[in-house]
Amino acid sequence: EVQLVESGGGLVKPGGSLRLSCGASGFTFSSYSMNWVRQAPGKGLEWVSYISSSSSTIYYADSVKGRFTISRDNAKNSLYLQMSSLRADDTAVYYCARWSGSYSSFDYWGQGTLATVSS
C-alpha cells in the first residue's frame, strides 16, 4: 500500500524557517517524481514545488521561488521542503504528492502537515 506521511509542521514567526519531511513507503520511491502542494485555511490547492526522481529537475511556484528548497533522499525514501523567510501567507497545510507522469496527475497524497506563520 502506498503511504506518504508528512511531518515537521508547526508554529513559526514571520521571517523564520521550517523544514518539512515526507516519508514514503509501499512503492519504489526512487522511480517517481514528487511534489509539494499547499492549501491555505479555507482556500484552494496551490502547487508549490516539483522534484524529479533523480533530483536533476526542480521547479518552484513563483510565490516561493528563492525562499523554499525541495530535496529528496532516495536512500531514505524521503522528500523534504526547506522553507525560509516565511510570511503569514505561507500558512497552509502542506501535502506531499506523488506525480504520475504517465497520467499527468497527482495519484497519491499524504495527509498533510500544517505550517502556521504568526507572531
Partner 1 sequence: DIQMTQSPSTLSASVGDRVTITCRASQSISGWLAWYQQKPGKAPKLLIYRASSLESGVPSRFSGSGSGTEFTLTISSLQPDDFATYYCQQYNRYSWTFGQGTKVEIK
* Contacts with partner 1, residue ranges (CB under 8 A): 35, 44-47, 50, 57, 59, 62, 95, 100, 103-112
A 10 A CB-CB count for 87 gives 12
Closest to partner 1 by CB, 12 vs 22, is 22
Closest to partner 1 by CB, 83 vs 110, is 110
Closest to partner 1 by CB, 48 vs 83, is 48
Measured from the CB of residue 111, what is the shortest distance to partner 1 in angstroms?
6
Measured from the CB of residue 29, what is the shortest distance to partner 1 in angstroms?
18
Measured from the CB of residue 47, what is the shortest distance to partner 1 in angstroms?
4
Closest to partner 1 by CB, 7 vs 59, is 59
For residue 3, which of 105, 81, 98 has the smallest C-alpha distance? Answer: 98
